[in-house]
């Protein structure tokens, strides 16, 4: 196992004993952390949708949504991130070992409707020991989360996973492989602003299955450039994992001491501050503060729902988060139709989705499956 030998070790390493203790929890129910959202209200749906930059009136406008096939407001499927912290990347075990959200395989069975009250049941599904170029030894920790509405109906099942990394090893590698943050010119910012002003969505015009061709490219979707402000906007809808204040924060650190990492003033703060604190981000091996992984998964969902239109339904979204989206990065979400088929009464399309930054790096990729109306 690699060790951090050139600098003083600040954080625990992954040990065989800790991994075996974690594996003993597979399939065992555990107390679920309090979710940020328990009901799909107009406010909670709006906060989520605008937090991912998706102003689709199907999510936001009651009169518009009432004229759709759904008969009222529904929510983006990835809104369920706000209903459960485990599916969002909350992990237990391996105290002091950094957790990086790495992806979700969403499978939706019915829409999330205005007024739905949704509960979730997470369980540890798998623990895999990996070798990581980023941090030496690493662990992939996967949870299965089942979401049910107030009628007991299964709305969605999702597998979500994090990679547990050795912070000191990752930091040493990052110091040897620096990344320069992008600085944008006024002209470049104006071009991005023009894109946002011009872009459109499919909306109420049906996209019929018969009109789709394999190999067809989806219109690209821009997100960013990313800032701390955009990360904060996302947390307003999502709720975050460990952001607490005052007494509740100290209660959390008392129950989970490894979560309280002293800042420069000696005050404990959670590891989640890597999303706005450049110094802590560099301490765990990332060049600067970076986005939340669920945010990027949701952007790719936004790409697909804009393309399928109001009459389509996103059934599956399986996305791996591959690289960090740093402050200043501009993400281009892209998609290509790879398959078209019928299954029972459903007319389905499969879409290869990916997110690329301005350096040409693929930061997330995966597959979406959507049901479309038929002529």
Lowest model confidence (mean pLDDT) among 57-71, 173-187, 349-363: 173-187
- Residue 169 is predicted with a pLDDT of 56
What percent of the chain is predicted at pLDDT more than 90? 81
CA distance 96 to 200: 45
pLDDT for 5 equals 43
Q: Which residue has the higher pLDDT, 137 or 263?
A: 263
Mean pLDDT of 120-140: 84
Exposure of 101 in the CB half-sphere (CA atoms within 13 A)? 31
Instruction: Name the pLDDT band for 100 (thresholds 50, 70, 90).
Output: confident
User: What digits encode the pLDDT tens for the residues 303-343?
Assistant: 999 999 999 999 999 999 999 999 999 999 999 999 999 99
Q: What is the pLDDT of residue 175?
A: 57
Residues in the chain: 375
Answer for the pair 369, 315: CB distance below 8 angstroms, yes or no.
yes
- Which of 90-94, 286-290, 311-315 holds the top average pLDDT? 311-315
Q: What pLDDT, on a 0 to 100 scale, did the predictor assign at position 258?
A: 85
Predicted pLDDT at 7? 46
The confidence score (pLDDT) of residue 166 equals: 74
Which candidate, 337, 331, 336, places its Cα nearest to that of 360? 331
Q: Does the structural domain 16-371 have CATH classification 3.40.50.620?
A: no
**pLDDT grade for 8, boundaries at 50, 70 and 90:** low
Place of tokens 């940020």: 36
Q: Which two tokens stand for residue 43?
A: 């406010």
226-265 pLDDT tens trace: 999 999 999 999 999 889 999 999 999 999 898 899 999 9
Kindly tell me the burial class for residue 151, based on how many C-beta atoms sit within 10 Å of its own C-beta (0-12, 13-18, 19 or more). Answer: exposed
pLDDT at position 297 over 60: yes
pLDDT at 131: 72
Question: For 35-63, what is each residue's pLDDT tens digit?
Answer: 999 999 999 999 999 999 999 999 999 99
Q: What is the mean pLDDT of residues 154-168?
A: 89
Alpha-carbon distance values, 136 to 11, 174, 179, 254 (Å): 14, 12, 20, 30
- Cβ proximity of 113 and 73 under 8 Å: yes
Nearest to 273 by CA among 251, 249, 297: 249
Q: What is the residue-averaged pLDDT of the chain? A: 92
pLDDT exceeds cutoff 50 at 138: yes
> Which position has the token pair 């999303």?
275
Average the pLDDT over 166-188 and give the result.
73
Q: Which residue has the higher pLDDT, 130 or 87?
A: 87
Distance CA 47, CA 334 (A): 25
pLDDT of amino acid 62: 97
């Amino acid at each position: 196992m690699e060790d951090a030998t050139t600098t003083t070790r600040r954080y625990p390493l992954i040990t065989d004993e800790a991994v075996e203790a974690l594996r003993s929890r597979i399939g065992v129910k555990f107390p679920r952390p309090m979710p940020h959202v328990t009901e799909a209200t107009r406010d909670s749906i709006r906060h989520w949708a605008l937090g991912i930059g998706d102003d689709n009136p199907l999510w936001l406008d009651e009169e518009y949504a009432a004229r759709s096939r759904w008969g009222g407001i529904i929510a983006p499927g990835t809104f369920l991130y706000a209903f459960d912290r485990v599916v969002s990347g909350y992990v237990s075990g391996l105290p002091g070992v950094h957790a990086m959200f790495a992806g979700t395989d969403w499978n939706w069975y019915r829409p999330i409707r205005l007024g739905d009250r949704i509960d979730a049941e997470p369980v540890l599904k798998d623990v895999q020991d990996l070798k990581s170029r980023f941090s030496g030894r690493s662990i992939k920790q996967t949870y299965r989360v089942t979401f049910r509405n107030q009628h007991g109906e299964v709305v969605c099942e999702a597998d979500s996973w994090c990679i547990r990394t050795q912070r000191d090893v990752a930091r040493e590698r990052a110091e040897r492989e620096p990344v320069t943050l992008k600085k944008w010119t006024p002209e470049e910012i104006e071009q991005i602003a023009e894109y946002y002003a011009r872009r459109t969505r499919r909306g109420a015009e049906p996209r019929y299955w018969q009109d789709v061709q394999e190999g067809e490219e989806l219109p690209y979707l821009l997100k960013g450039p990313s800032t701390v402000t955009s990360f904060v906007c996302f947390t307003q809808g999502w709720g975050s994992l460990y952001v607490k204040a005052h007494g509740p924060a100290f209660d959390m650190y008392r129950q989970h001491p490894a979560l309280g990492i002293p800042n420069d003033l000696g005050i404990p703060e959670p590891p989640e501050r890597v999303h706005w604190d450049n110094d802590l981000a560099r301490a765990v091996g990332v060049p600067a503060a970076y986005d939340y992984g669920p945010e990027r998964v949701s952007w790719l969902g936004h790409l697909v729902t804009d393309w399928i239109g109001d009459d389509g339904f996103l059934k599956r979204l399986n996305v791996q988060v591959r690289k960090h989206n740093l402050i200043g990065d501009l993400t281009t979400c892209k998609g290509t139709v790879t398959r078209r088929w019928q299954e029972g009464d459903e007319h389905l399309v499969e879409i290869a989705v990916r997110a690329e930054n301005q350096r040409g790096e693929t930061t997330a990729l995966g597959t979406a499956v959507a049901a479309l109306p038929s002529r």
